[in-house]
Structure 1
Amino acid sequence: MAACHGGGAFAPVVSLALALMSVLVAGDDPYRFFTWTVTDGNISPLGVKQQGILINGRFPGPQIEAVTNDNIIVNVFNKLNEPFLLSWNGLQQRRNSFEDGVAGTTCPIPPGGNFTYNLQAKDQIGTYYYFPSLAFHKAGGGFGGIRVLSRPMIPVPFPPPAADYTALIGDWYKANHTSLKNTLDSGKALGSPDGLLINGRSWDGYTFNVQPGKTYRFRISNVGLATSLNIRFQGHKMKLVEVEGSHTMQTTYSSLDVHLGQSYSVLLTADQPAYDYAVVVSTRFTSKIITTTAVLRYSNSAGKAPGALPGGPTIQIDWSLNQARSIRWNLTASGPRPNPQGSYHYGLVPTARTIRLANSAATINGKQRYAVNRVSHANPDTPLKIADYYKIPGVFRVGTISDAPSGGGAFLQTSVMGASYRDYVEIVFENRESEVQSWHIDGYAFWVVGYAHSVQTSTKFLNGWREMVGSKQEDLQPEGCHFAVYPKSWSAIYVTLDNVGMWNVRSESWARQYLGQQFYLRVWTPSTSWRDEYPIPKNALLCGRAAGRRTRPLAPTRGSSRRSKQRQDLS
């Protein structure tokens, strides 16, 4: 995003199209339209000219602003010389993994082509971002913020802020994304990042303006490639209020760890003498600590604030783990709907399955790869979701990744795990390596129910956590879509598989993701009702073994919703 002061870039749409749309969707949720052109362009975020990926000529890209249940229509024109896809990090596509925008679900937009994403912020609020998912494009830009605001009638557990700012923080390399990709393809490691960026700029290159005495919301997302980050505001405290769509108990922090992919909202009150203060971001768990700053400028500033920059944690694992444990769900606040969050006692629901997943580094065919339960994922020639829809044989096989780690070396394979719709599942992520891991599951929000700085078995904990939560629901952490697994540690999550589709489970360390530390979770039901899953969009791009097939969806079965039909008519 080029600035925190503006809103989204709503694309102009001809009045006739709008009139036709209003007829088609009378009484439906609002539609917001965006037209984006993706191009190469020269950028110099660290003072060295390099090739970046721009959206409408901007780095970072335009911001999406929406309200709960809004339909978000994004028409993307690809002017790069290679295929391109955008994915929506945390914006859950309910019943619609065709629009997820990753290699396993969506055919890429060819050079010179375009594709219109038909998304919906269904029953969501909060802070997210989008990013390019193919090749190593994320290292060139193409990302931007997403804000989903509450509907006006839904109470929010804090007064309206004076302004709502986005802070996209992340590490950065001076090499072009194509060079970084070639390094990975050759089997070599990337090494440490060259610097850090805040909204696409390095040292003091970005300014947040504030008025004395007023309170501001900062939406912070780690959009980087390789490192966890810590953020702090010189002379000011942060009050955490939201994590990826869930309101939190309003705990105050001097500094906050933000792991790869994570998004947080904090409130900051401009209650200090009027100066220019530093917004400091630095790396965590790295041998060399990299730091950058932005400026928090009071309207009547007398100049640079006196004193040294605030120091932050560096390699302390327990500090970060304890901070993560301190974040609690606000059960008295409404979420997207006018009812308290967590009114249902999830801890009392029987769990259908426990899955254990272990990441590992491996050498396969003489090259660096990464694996989950021994499988290093390889993308097939046809997106898995499209092959599943058309029942194309030979693209993938369900069950190619096991439910638990096993001995033996890693190997390349298209990795798909099967799961049943509406099951309640525990997943334990085990990390026996010496670097922190950050994980994400597309299409889902979930609860982290335990962290442990230990490689010992988690069985005893898993047997006891549900009993504790059943009687003490307030100990639940907020729902989110990212979490950390600390070195030589494990983390456990609890998830309701209520979203049919083919969903990417991946490392947010982008070199690891690119080199195989990911798989797809196929959440399946025998039902063909559009109430459970939307059919393939009429405008879907078809590639690989699906090229040349028709995209007109099959007729819905009984129980399909009118809204589902309207969304398909507009695709």
Structure 2
Amino acid sequence: MAGGNAGAAAAAAARLVFSFMGLLVPLLVAGDDPYRFFTWTVTYGDIYPLGVKQQGILINNQFPGPQIEAVTNDNLIINVFNKLNEPFLLSWSGLQQRRNSFEDGVAGTTCPIPPGGNFTYIMQAKDQIGTYYYFPSLAFHKAAGGFGGIRVLSRPQIPVPFPPPAADYTVLIGDWYKANHTDLRYMLDSGKALGFPDGLLINGRSWNGYTFTVEPGRTYRFRISNVGLATSLNIRFQGHTMKLVEVEGSHTMQTTYSSLDVHLGQSYSVLLTADQPGFDYAVVVSTRFTTKIISTTAVLHYTNSAGKAPGPLPGGPTIQIDWSLNQARSIRWNLTASGPRPNPQGSYHYGLVPVTRTIRLANSAAIINGKQRYAVNSVSYVSPDTPLKVADYYKIGGVFSVGTIADSPSYGSAYLQTSVMGANYRDYVEVVFENNEDEVQSWHIDGYAFWVVGMDGGKWSPASRQGYNLRDGVSRYTVQVYPRSWTAIYMPLDNVGMWNVRSENWARQYLGQQFYLRVWTPSTSFRDEYPIPKNALLCGRAAGRRTRPL
């Protein structure tokens, strides 16, 4: 059993089978799909990732947290006990929450777990494969840890377009600050910038603090996720190349790279063959698009190692945008590979579906009430006292209004607002992210995968569509937008709920560069959206209300 503490988890499973029967009504449609039970305790603990004592967030005393390993359509029952002195939530980057935004674990959908309390997430990896991660979404907790890897494996009968690897390694890379998350949060609340990160981590460790062991001649899968706060990163393996095989749930054309850019929030899978002489090689991660370059390393250890590999560490790209743009354009969908189902991924011709709506989203920085804020289409998001999804379910007025963010930028002065965009279930939309600033942006949409159809420098216009890739653009959950550039996606609105659209630069997200997309249908069928979970925590103006009956 994944998640550590196997004995406790097994005991929890036995107890929970009966107590959750009333909670699992929507999941019973899954038939015989397996259940995986996890029991997690969240605590503070001392960590020293950069050699300085910090207050870290541990899950089952682990930093990073336990790995989640599942198979397509598995049901995940994750019982989280909050032993912190403040409210806490976990969110699941890329795990779609089909018809179930109540379990999304962000402030706009889910009431936080109070100190000393617990909440059981009930989710299904429905029709998914691939590489993802989880993270704490409230109060800048992400700067203290609390994150971990998620891998969703293909069912045994579904072919995978490469031989089984000798081992499957998770590689969580990210920038890190020596200050405690409470100090970083105070800086942001005071209107100050965080400044440049103090270092980089690989699986929670700094220079040569983590080792991946390989045997000569064998091939290994490395699942790489950028779980950091502020910077795009580049990863490379000394003396080796990487073959890209998967991006956030999509099998890709198997292109070989000597180094790979991984922007904030993104996840990639690569294959690496141990085909070099037996030494200890460096896994190098360094910052991108920054005038000051910082790096860190892990060790790729051959079982027949004769010591440290000779030669210098491999250099990587630094501030070159065109290099990264060309690499991003080279990442293509593998149209002949199966996804989570037997049919090939390319059987869905996304480029032939008529677009029903175009949404243009422009990020901006602004000073509001004397403090630094960030906005989307001039609206800087502020959280209400009640989660939007909960207020929507109980029809509680005065929490939010649909249409409080426009479909296109006005380029006017930024202002504070609880911004919610309305959309109709089963619409097919074009979203254009427009970045008029001098730093790279990274955008994520909860609950949805989307096709990246185009990206380029300069201003987007309708004529830009002539250069779209309408055949084999990759489907993913998080996409970058280069400075003074645009990125366009196509997205079917096939998942009813309230979904967070956000910057993956965590200071920008914290200070307002996000909004919620309300995908709505008048239908009340469970086939379209699950009801509020019976175990849902209720807070704000919904406190004291009853959840649905059995």
TM range (shorter): over 0.9
What is the deviation of 1:430?
Answer: 0.4
What is the deviation of 1:15?
Answer: 7.1
**Counterpart of 1:523?**
519
**Counterpart of 1:494?**
490
1:13–1:33 CA contact under 8 A, matched in 2: no
What is the deviation of 1:408?
Answer: 1.9
Q: Alignment partner for residue 509 of structure 2, among 476, 490, 513?
A: 513
What is the deviation of 1:344?
Answer: 2.0
Q: Alignment partner for residue 11 of structure 2, among 10, 13, 23?
A: 13
Matched, 1:246 2:250: yes
Please show how residues 286-305 of structure 1 align to structure 2 within 5 Å: 286-305=290-309
**Counterpart of 1:478?**
474
**Counterpart of 1:461?**
464
> Separation in 1 of the partners of 2:13 and 2:289?
53
Stretch of structure 1 that moved more, 26-35 or 122-131: 26-35
2:206 alignment partner AA: S
CA deviations over 1:475-531 (Å, ceiling 9, x no partner): x22210001000000100100000000000000000000000000000000000000
What is the deviation of 1:350?
Answer: 0.8
Q: For residues 227 and 37 of structure 1, do their structure 2 counterparts lie closer, same or farther at Cα, with a shift above 3 Å needed?
A: same
Matched, 1:537 2:533: yes
Q: For residues 19 and 110 of structure 1, do their structure 2 counterparts lie closer, same or farther at Cα, with a shift above 3 Å needed?
A: closer
What is the deviation of 1:342?
Answer: 1.9
Matched, 1:349 2:349: no
Q: Alignment partner for residue 230 of structure 1, among 234, 240, 265?
A: 234
What is the deviation of 1:17?
Answer: 3.5
**Counterpart of 2:321?**
317
**Counterpart of 1:59?**
63
2:402–2:421 CA contact under 8 A, matched in 1: yes
- Structure 1 unaligned segments of length 5 or more: list them: 1-5, 554-568
> Separation in 2 of the partners of 1:490 and 1:328?
19
Matched, 1:207 2:247: no
**Counterpart of 1:442?**
446
1:346 alignment partner AA: Y
Q: Alignment partner for residue 219 of structure 1, among 223, 233, 237?
A: 223
> Separation in 1 of the partners of 2:238 and 2:205?
19
**Counterpart of 1:425?**
429
CA deviations over 1:53-100 (Å, ceiling 9, x no partner): 000001000000000000000000000000000000000000000000
1:230–1:256 CA contact under 8 A, matched in 2: yes
> Separation in 2 of the partners of 1:513 and 1:68?
30
2:106–2:137 CA contact under 8 A, matched in 1: yes
> Separation in 1 of the partners of 2:410 and 2:37?
48
Per the alignment, in what secondary structure is the counterpart of residue 342 of structure 1?
Answer: helix
CA deviations over 1:259-300 (Å, ceiling 9, x no partner): 000000000000000000000000000110010000000001
**Counterpart of 2:274?**
270
Q: For residues 22 and 356 of structure 1, do their structure 2 counterparts lie closer, same or farther at Cα, with a shift above 3 Å needed?
A: closer
> Separation in 2 of the partners of 1:16 and 1:75?
13
What is the deviation of 1:13?
Answer: 2.5
Q: For residues 105 and 15 of structure 1, do their structure 2 counterparts lie closer, same or farther at Cα, with a shift above 3 Å needed?
A: closer
Q: For residues 109 and 272 of structure 1, do their structure 2 counterparts lie closer, same or farther at Cα, with a shift above 3 Å needed?
A: same
Q: For residues 22 and 177 of structure 1, do their structure 2 counterparts lie closer, same or farther at Cα, with a shift above 3 Å needed?
A: closer
1:12 alignment partner AA: A
**Counterpart of 1:105?**
109
CA deviations over 1:371-430 (Å, ceiling 9, x no partner): 000000000000000000000000000000000000321000000000000000000000
The runs of at least 4 aligned residues of structure 1 exceeding 3 Å deviation read 14-27
How much is the aligned-residue C-alpha RMSD, in angstroms? Answer: 1.5
> Separation in 2 of the partners of 1:205 and 1:276?
13
What is the deviation of 1:28?
Answer: 2.5
> Separation in 1 of the partners of 2:281 and 2:541?
56
- Structure 2 unaligned segments of length 5 or more: list them: none
> Separation in 1 of the partners of 2:171 and 2:408?
38
1:8–1:63 CA contact under 8 A, matched in 2: yes
Identity of aligned residues (%): 82
Count of residue pairs brought into register by the alignment: 541
